[in-house]
Structure 1
Amino acid sequence: MRYLILTIFTFCISTAFAQNTSLKGRVTSNNTPLAYATVALSGTRHGATTNEQGYYEIKNVPAGQYLAVFSSVGYFTEKLKANITTGDASILHADLKEGSSKLNEVVVTGVSRATELRSNPVPIAVMGKAEIDQHVNNNIIDAVIKGVPGVTAVTTGPNISKPFIRGLGYNRVLTLYDGIRQEGQQWGDEHGIEIDQYGISRAEVIKGPASLTYGSDALAGVINLIPYIPNGDDGKLKGDFANDYHTNNGLIGSSLGLSYKKNDWKYAFRITGKLAHNYQNKIDGPVYNSAFREYIASGMVRTDKKWGYSQLAATIYNNQQEIPDGSRDSLTRKFTRQVAEGANDDIKNRPFAPEEYLQSYRITPLHQHIQHYRIYSKNEFKLGDGLLDASVGGQQSVRREYNHPTQPQQAGLYVTLNTLNYDVRYSAPAFAGIETTFGANGIYQTNRSKAATDFPIPDYNLFDIGTFFFAKKTIGKTDISGGIRFDNRNIRWDDFYVGPNPANGFEQKVSANTAGSKLQFPSFNHNYRGVSYSLGLTYNVSERVLLKGNIARGYRAPNITEIGSNGLDPGAHIVYLGNRSFVPEFNLQEDIGVIAYLKDADLMMELFNNQVQNYIYQSRLDDENGNPVIIVPGNSTYQYQQSRARLYGAEFTFNLHPHNLKWLSLNNSLAYVVGLNQNEKLIAQSNGAAKYLPFIPPLHVRSQLAIKLPGNYGILSKVTFRAEADMYAAQNKFYSLNNTETATPGYTLINTGISTTVSRKGGKPLFDLFLQADNLFDVAYQSNLNRLKYFEYYNSSPNGRLGIYNIGRNLSFKVVVPF
């Protein structure tokens, strides 16, 4: 694979023909220079960013006629025809009008080529760097949750957030990094997203089936996290330094980013470090074993030529993550720690966790160690009026979970996942006004257990390929798009035996003829196939008002735990039991939406109905007497189930920004989803306990008041005050069979913040400052998506509180220094 990447990259940067041409000009607003506005040539990868005086230049553009799109946050997008000729640079100026419309933003996720948001019938939301920076978070998924209604997360402490879209998660939400699917053992409940939050400049979220473009695992939607690509002035080293501090868990986060652009070449590099001690709340105090330490580095080199572009990038991720097990003293409710194993470990009589551990940044012996390495190449070639896009990438995820206090250097789980990503697509020249794209993409993957003692999944090989066809046409005010795709995924593994390990007293992977061996995973070889399709339209009532409708069929092959698991995942504290007979999931989702970006307000309403065939979910396993099945002491046992399901709901957004009160905005959103289990036989047998699906978020309402003071105040400018009410209703519609879930009371969190830019007396910005208070009134709450809610060893407690609570009041300080 290494030689393949180098061959592609060398070919890209060595290809050059025809004379260089360019487009330049100035972008203003009311004749005032507009800095950092974006200029893009529609349908191509050519673009630039204006400097502080509003000037821009797009170099190495083939001669021809283009549609130049000028955009900037807070302004209406302007489209102008650009006639670029050889010889001297072509000149094109633009004057943007103030406004907040996002309809003309260009998106790259889930489409065949860069497409305006307004013409895409699939529900998609966009968050820019400015919006991401406004929220001080423990990870990037938390920032997305705050900015996109309908997106939630199952959490295991502050640093682990698994995204859910409209009530569906795990392998149904596909996370992308720069368009490359993220592969990092995401089957586990406590396996988070291994991505640098400081290096993301843009997030695009598809809410609904995106299997047409991405194949399996995009049944619920896609979150594409796009890193920064340099677009500054030629020959100038630019960058930023960000520093975070959180009072609740003492989080210290620092990140340094550098970028450089010279002629056709762009370079970017970033290094990030984060560490935190245990988080706390007023019910549990410091939550023992919830600290983490994280280091990330990334680099990118890119060349933009008249024939297209080529990009080579790499990332390195290293995380040590503690996971609490919830053991504590029955009377004092103080957390305890495991010091013995097996029969010597009395879970309800462990010693107290030492006080020096509770506020310490050091990582305890029982923790997870996750490493993720990635290298990938993205390339685009202009072939006449068509475009050929090709990308290839390699990833390795190494996960160790240490759960043996008597032998702390011995990993309980130790797995290495290797993945090769590939994607080739061709966007043909428009014919009779119809834009078409066809291509193929997929992955090849191997997973191997190393020197471990627990084996929840077998060593497997996976090969996945899908081919698709996509078409789009505009008829008057209506944009119509759709397509079809066929996928095939093969998963196989050989007989997997385990036996005693005399060196440590635990089990190990052994050969079939080893004395005392037992067959943990019988061999398996199966193909999963599926057809996906999508058809939708957007009707442009006016420049500001749209009607959208879409119907899409998604497909997802069962993941490795659902079909192959048979053992303990130490970090999750769960024994998983899979089912080899499971068949793929298919869903059919209908979406309708109304979007209006008016002079004084933004209005959005999205309704959806989602029917899922063969829905797979976890259910806690009880014996015939109704008692929890305990295979490994101190750990729950969950068995996967499969049935029909239905999810339906809505998202509403109402943002008020009076034209005559430009300093004031009131942003409001509402998200609601109901998840129904349609296994009528199980529902009847359980007296309704299985009526609803697990991990369905309750009604969520968010309301934020923002006041942006006009003018400057000495060295301060762009002073903005924010106050937010984050309201979650009680969740009484839950999967209660075998006490898999319990009811969750409602709660309201009040968050406040202030941000400003600090400048020199001459006016040049020095740094941006963000002060934020989350859960200002220190509300004690448990989200129904908080896995720690169920980390409990007793049926009752003296204070009436069971499980571990979410994070309490947190004051945070963030400084971003651009240079």
Structure 2
Amino acid sequence: MKYLIPSFLFIFFANQLLAQNSSIKGQVKSNNALAENITVKIIGQSKSARTNQTGNYQIENLPIGNYTLIFSGIGYQTKKATVVLTNEPAMLNVDLLDSESNLNDVVITGVNRATQLRKSPVPIAVLSKKSMDQNVNTNLIEAIVKGVPGVTAVTTGPNVSKPFIRGLGYNRVLTLYDGLRQEGQQWGDEHGIEVDEYSITRAEVVKGPASLTYGSDALAGVINMIPYSPNFEEGKLKGDFTTNYQTNNGMIGASIGLAYIKKNWKYVIRATAKTAHNYYNKIDGLVYGTAFREYNLSASARVDQKWGFSKTAITYYNNLMEIPDGSRDSLSRKFTKQVSDYADDIKNRPIVPDDDLKSYSINPLHQHIQHYRLYNTTQFKLGNSDLNVLIGGQQSVRREYNHPTAPQQAGLYVVLNTLNYDLKYNLPDFAGIESTFGINGMLQGNRSKDATDFPIPDYDLFDVGAFYFAKKSMGKVDVSGGLRIDRRNIQWNDFYVGTNPQTGFGKQVEANYPSANFQFPAFKKNYYGLSGSLGLTYNISEKLLIKANIARGYRAPNITEIGSNGLDPGAHIVYLGNRSFKPEFNLQEDLGIIAYLKDADLSFEWFNNEIQNYIYQSRLTAANGNPVVIVPGNLTYQYQQSKARLYGAEISVNLHPSKLKWLTVNNSLAYVVGLNKNGELLAKHGRDARYLPFIPTLQIRSEIKVTARKPIGILDKPYFKVDGVFYADQNRFYALDNTETFTTGYGLLNAGIGSTLKSKAGKTLCDVFVQVDNIFNKSYQSNLNRLKYFEYYNASPNGKSGIYNMGRNMSFKIIVPF
């Protein structure tokens, strides 16, 4: 009895204590659809959960008491809910609203884990598929440019847009597809991204150094293009058919996607085709060499289990794109075409027939780009932590055909193979600190095949970096930051080029080949980078925020900057690199003020960016002032390196009167100045060398949109909008050696209508979008349009020089779900 009573009491009280623990579970929906991957977090507790594919969640081993839960997810408004937990498990079901303003939207780019936009001190913008569908786009980057202030693009015709963020582009902007970095010969001017625009449902843009999470090449920021993920009832097959026609270049696009959910598996497949003839403007007429044809195929499969999830996806991109060179008849200004490889007299080429200008057939001088991508992303749930693993393989095949007498012979033929790896471990929360440790990088090899021109050597690259990132909320203040260290090794062997006696073209040869030219001496070098960031968000109130961030970014020189020594046929430029270049480092300060008021959303973002060892292109001229011509008919550019500074701001004023819910007025302004800090050049050339090349001019956008709040017959929420964009004169340009010239400002007016069509039973029949860009068919040249500089004459009969941008363009798009 002496031991029995204490034992009984121990068991009794132990059972009572265990009985005090219970659980909360429930289901999350949105618009009657199951909401997957919603984060459910208890305020004041380290425990959290995520909803599975059926929208269900469960948090166990909680003491009885009162709790406040926060439900947040990408594309949804964050919601708080309270529950009283007793001995019995509590059931808490929640309906989330779509996120109309993105203040509480959840982002995944540039942060250690899914994070509310309001908590990130780094400027991040989100663009939805709905916004992209309501504009005229010939490629995905063009859609992002129209939707995100501070993002611009250097273009070479309608199918090549290289993204720039706050005046920085090329390898300084890292593009991701579903979190996997895009690798596809992005060093070239005429190389666009290789992504199916119809497959993307969301784009997240990080403005400023994001090297902390991704390593080199994110000095200016990150664009993450996120494909569709199905979220509907199990056992159903759903899909959509999209078709698009644009009047200016006759662009025809068609895309079909299918999605199926069975048990814990989700399957998605999409096929897309696009074709277009040459585009038109009033000055040039139909611009020869701007037709393209594109095919895309993608598929993915994802399984969700208690241990986490695993997704495997494959994509294929195939693009045939003509190469414009701008050659013309000197009197009529009609476009001419190259018909000879030998003794090609540019000023006496034959005029292009009208039938060729209007044809959808791709002319012999064109690029053929193929991109293959296979990757797997897996998350392992480990209690209150998780491990995320991303492994991806890519192959980019690029052929540029520039020999009219031998149309099957590629001038440039390069194959780039890349293996990407990314390992991130989200540690358990400790003292309210959310932290992540990660290692990522890539292994890359580039090889030239049966080509005649060799602008870059065959090289091998190995990249590895490790980082630690943490964030903590302290009342009204959210703080985040971290450190990263990187190492990149790049090397190549001796590379010789000789002449093929049968064709007279160049070819890769051995060192002992007769008259072999030693084009690329062997090279091997390691680049190291240390980067970091620290920022905070001060929540003055639920609707008013102040954000500040300081970050140091790093970028290793790319292959063309250190290794190029030859003609890139597609760009019509001979590039000359510099093997002694150092890595770029920048220090950027960001300050932002955001207010989400009852009738307006206001934001002001200011930045200052100091860059060490900035690399840029400059046209090469001889001592007599004439351009250096190494290959006839092609310009010569040499890379330079100096200090630089960029500063500017973005302002947004979006009005949505609460008493006029049918009206929205969106306004934005983006401004950036790029200064060349090369003291030697400034002392010698003054203002001609003061500014950096390819800096966007002041840009103002305004949109007035009227949306019906109630259905009108079969029209559900029909809208009408008018928008205008104004670009100021660009008189701050890099004028040394006529690399750039003055660009006159211009304004464009656009308009559009659209609606969802529904049956009387409420079933969605289709979405219809009609948009007209450049309503008044204005003739203009963008300072970021490379075709502006495609000119062979010092003067012309009409006083116009170079090629102009696209004229009026009307787009008809229909999306039919099934």
**Quick check: TM above 0.5?**
yes
How far did residue 99 of structure 1 move? 8.0
1:417 partner amino acid: L
1:120 & 1:592 partners in 2: Cα distance?
Answer: 12
Q: Does structure 2 retain, via aligned residues, the 8 Å contact 1:596–1:604? A: yes
1:395 & 1:355 partners in 2: Cα distance?
Answer: 40
User: Could you tell me which residue of structure 1 aligns to residue 18 of structure 2?
Assistant: none
2:49 & 2:792 partners in 1: Cα distance?
Answer: 56
2:613 partner amino acid: N
TM-score (norm 2): 0.93
Q: Does structure 2 retain, via aligned residues, the 8 Å contact 1:21–1:86? A: no
TM-score (norm 1): 0.93
Cα 1:420/1:749, change in 2 over 3 Å: same
CA distances 1:704-742 after superposition (whole Å, capped 9, x unpaired): 000002222221121100100111001000000000000
User: Could you tell me which residue of structure 2 aligns to residue 4 of structure 1?
Assistant: none
CA distances 1:404-459 after superposition (whole Å, capped 9, x unpaired): 00000000000000000000011111111111111100010000000000000000
Structure (1 or 2) with the larger CA radius of gyration: 2
1:79 matched to 2:80? The reply is yes
1:36 & 1:663 partners in 2: Cα distance?
Answer: 28
1:23 matched to 2:26? The reply is yes
2:90 & 2:708 partners in 1: Cα distance?
Answer: 40
User: Could you tell me which residue of structure 2 aligns to residue 126 of structure 1?
Assistant: 126
Q: Does structure 2 retain, via aligned residues, the 8 Å contact 1:307–1:382? A: yes
CA distances 1:129-188 after superposition (whole Å, capped 9, x unpaired): 211211131011111111100000000001110000000000000000000000000000
User: Could you tell me which residue of structure 1 aligns to residue 436 of structure 2?
Assistant: 437
Cα 1:72/1:688, change in 2 over 3 Å: closer
Alignment of 1:140-219 (within 5 A): 140-219=140-219
Provide the secondary structure at the position in 2 that maps to 1:640: strand
How far did residue 100 of structure 1 move? 3.9
Q: Does structure 2 retain, via aligned residues, the 8 Å contact 1:38–1:72? A: no
User: Could you tell me which residue of structure 2 aligns to residue 408 of structure 1?
Assistant: 407
CA distances 1:736-764 after superposition (whole Å, capped 9, x unpaired): 00000001000000000001111222221
CA distances 1:520-544 after superposition (whole Å, capped 9, x unpaired): 1000000000100000000011111
1:64 & 1:293 partners in 2: Cα distance?
Answer: 58
CA distances 1:93-114 after superposition (whole Å, capped 9, x unpaired): 3475x98431211110011111
User: Could you tell me which residue of structure 1 aligns to residue 571 of structure 2?
Assistant: 572
Cα 1:72/1:112, change in 2 over 3 Å: closer
User: Could you tell me which residue of structure 1 aligns to residue 511 of structure 2?
Assistant: 512
User: Could you tell me which residue of structure 2 aligns to residue 17 of structure 1?
Assistant: none
User: Could you tell me which residue of structure 2 aligns to residue 660 of structure 1?
Assistant: 659
User: Could you tell me which residue of structure 1 aligns to residue 10 of structure 2?
Assistant: none
1:713 & 1:36 partners in 2: Cα distance?
Answer: 28
Q: Which runs of 5+ in 2 are unaligned?
A: 1-22, 42-47, 63-67
Provide the secondary structure at the position in 2 that maps to 1:360: coil
1:99 & 1:193 partners in 2: Cα distance?
Answer: 28
User: Could you tell me which residue of structure 1 aligns to residue 38 of structure 2?
Assistant: 40
Cα 1:706/1:290, change in 2 over 3 Å: same
Cα 1:466/1:95, change in 2 over 3 Å: closer
Q: Does structure 2 retain, via aligned residues, the 8 Å contact 1:45–1:308? A: no
User: Could you tell me which residue of structure 2 aligns to residue 235 of structure 1?
Assistant: 235
Cα 1:373/1:83, change in 2 over 3 Å: farther
1:39 & 1:584 partners in 2: Cα distance?
Answer: 39
How far did residue 81 of structure 1 move? 5.9
CA distances 1:579-613 after superposition (whole Å, capped 9, x unpaired): 00000000000000001111100000000000000
2:731 & 2:201 partners in 1: Cα distance?
Answer: 38
How far did residue 46 of structure 1 move? 3.5
1:774 & 1:281 partners in 2: Cα distance?
Answer: 13
How far did residue 72 of structure 1 move? 8.9
Provide the secondary structure at the position in 2 that maps to 1:688: helix
User: Could you tell me which residue of structure 1 aligns to residue 3 of structure 2?
Assistant: none
User: Could you tell me which residue of structure 1 aligns to residue 299 of structure 2?
Assistant: 299
User: Could you tell me which residue of structure 2 aligns to residue 58 of structure 1?
Assistant: 55
User: Could you tell me which residue of structure 1 aligns to residue 756 of structure 2?
Assistant: 757
Provide the secondary structure at the position in 2 that maps to 1:104: coil
2:84 & 2:228 partners in 1: Cα distance?
Answer: 29
Alignment of 1:328-727 (within 5 A): 328-343=328-343, 345-727=344-726
1:249 matched to 2:244? The reply is no
CA distances 1:17-48 after superposition (whole Å, capped 9, x unpaired): xxx99732555xxxxx6668777124788447
1:304 & 1:394 partners in 2: Cα distance?
Answer: 23
1:111 & 1:573 partners in 2: Cα distance?
Answer: 40
2:781 partner amino acid: Q
How far did residue 79 of structure 1 move? 2.7
CA distances 1:463-493 after superposition (whole Å, capped 9, x unpaired): 0000001111111110011000000000000
1:718 & 1:71 partners in 2: Cα distance?
Answer: 25
Larger mean CA deviation between 479-488 and 468-477 belongs to: 468-477
Q: Does structure 1 retain, via aligned residues, the 8 Å contact 2:645–2:674? A: yes
2:686 partner amino acid: N
1:386 partner amino acid: S
Cα 1:474/1:91, change in 2 over 3 Å: closer
Provide the secondary structure at the position in 1 that maps to 2:609: strand
Q: Does structure 1 retain, via aligned residues, the 8 Å contact 2:749–2:774? A: yes
1:660 & 1:264 partners in 2: Cα distance?
Answer: 45
Cα 1:113/1:42, change in 2 over 3 Å: farther
2:795 & 2:35 partners in 1: Cα distance?
Answer: 59
User: Could you tell me which residue of structure 2 aligns to residue 92 of structure 1?
Assistant: 93
1:23 partner amino acid: G
Provide the secondary structure at the position in 2 that maps to 1:333: coil
User: Could you tell me which residue of structure 1 aligns to residue 737 of structure 2?
Assistant: 738
1:59 & 1:87 partners in 2: Cα distance?
Answer: 18
1:42 & 1:163 partners in 2: Cα distance?
Answer: 35
User: Could you tell me which residue of structure 1 aligns to residue 268 of structure 2?
Assistant: 268
Q: Does structure 1 retain, via aligned residues, the 8 Å contact 2:24–2:92? A: no
2:568 partner amino acid: D
CA distances 1:332-363 after superposition (whole Å, capped 9, x unpaired): 000000001232x1001100011111111000
Provide the secondary structure at the position in 1 that maps to 2:666: strand
2:637 & 2:495 partners in 1: Cα distance?
Answer: 21
1:207 & 1:533 partners in 2: Cα distance?
Answer: 15
Cα 1:598/1:337, change in 2 over 3 Å: same
Larger mean CA deviation between 564-573 and 254-263 belongs to: 254-263
User: Could you tell me which residue of structure 2 aligns to residue 225 of structure 1?
Assistant: 225
Q: Does structure 1 retain, via aligned residues, the 8 Å contact 2:73–2:106? A: no
Q: Does structure 2 retain, via aligned residues, the 8 Å contact 1:700–1:728? A: yes
Coordinate RMSD, CA, aligned: 2.1
The number of aligned residues is 785
Determine which of 60, 66, 71 is the counterpart of 1:69: 71
User: Could you tell me which residue of structure 1 aligns to residue 259 of structure 2?
Assistant: 259
Provide the secondary structure at the position in 2 that maps to 1:689: helix
1:141 & 1:786 partners in 2: Cα distance?
Answer: 14
2:87 & 2:620 partners in 1: Cα distance?
Answer: 72
How far did residue 687 of structure 1 move? 3.0
Cα 1:124/1:95, change in 2 over 3 Å: closer
Q: Does structure 1 retain, via aligned residues, the 8 Å contact 2:730–2:743? A: yes
1:270 & 1:657 partners in 2: Cα distance?
Answer: 36
Cα 1:629/1:42, change in 2 over 3 Å: farther
Identity of aligned residues (%): 64
1:769 matched to 2:787? The reply is no
1:83 & 1:441 partners in 2: Cα distance?
Answer: 44
Larger mean CA deviation between 76-85 and 473-482 belongs to: 76-85
1:218 partner amino acid: A
Cα 1:71/1:564, change in 2 over 3 Å: closer
1:688 & 1:329 partners in 2: Cα distance?
Answer: 35
Provide the secondary structure at the position in 2 that maps to 1:488: strand
